[in-house]
Amino acid sequence: MTKINFRNEQEAISYKNLKIFTKIANKYIKPLILDGGALLGAYRDNGFAEDDWDDTDFTTFKDQWKNEPKLTKELLEAGFKIYHTWKPEDKRTPYS
């Protein structure tokens, strides 16, 4: 197993939480896609974006929304805090 060199304790905690989160989320949502600052940090910094260790942004396809209540329940039971959840809309963009 490859040893990861974390820049600080906060990043190590974020990584541990990310592993727990993805283990739970993958039961309910596939694919689970990094988004926002989490995606930027993974691409640019090969980890978490500096000073963005306190949250992780994900997205998935609209048809996976039906599983959100079960996912939210299990995440809350595991001690996670959910700050925002955006529900899919029925309207389409010009590109969809």
Instruction: Note whether residue 29 is domain-resident.
Output: no
Higher pLDDT, 77 or 1: 77
Instruction: Note whether residue 94 is domain-resident.
Output: no
pTM equals 0.77
Instruction: Note whether residue 22 is domain-resident.
Output: no
Domain tally for the chain? 1
Instruction: Note whether residue 48 is domain-resident.
Output: no
- 35-77 pLDDT per residue, tens: 888 888 888 888 888 777 788 888 888 888 889 899 999 999 9
Tokens of 93: 């963009």
> Range of 67's domain?
57-83
Taking residues 2-13, report their average pLDDT: 82
Written as one letter, the residue type at 9 is E
Instruction: Note whether residue 79 is domain-resident.
Output: yes
Q: At 33, phi and psi to the nearest 5?
A: -120, 130
- CA neighbours closer than 13 Å in the CB half-sphere of residue 55: 10
Query: Residue 76's pLDDT is what?
Result: 95
**Residues 30/32/33/35 CA torsion (nearest 10 deg):** 140
Instruction: Note whether residue 93 is domain-resident.
Output: no
pLDDT over 90, % of the chain: 29
Instruction: Note whether residue 27 is domain-resident.
Output: no
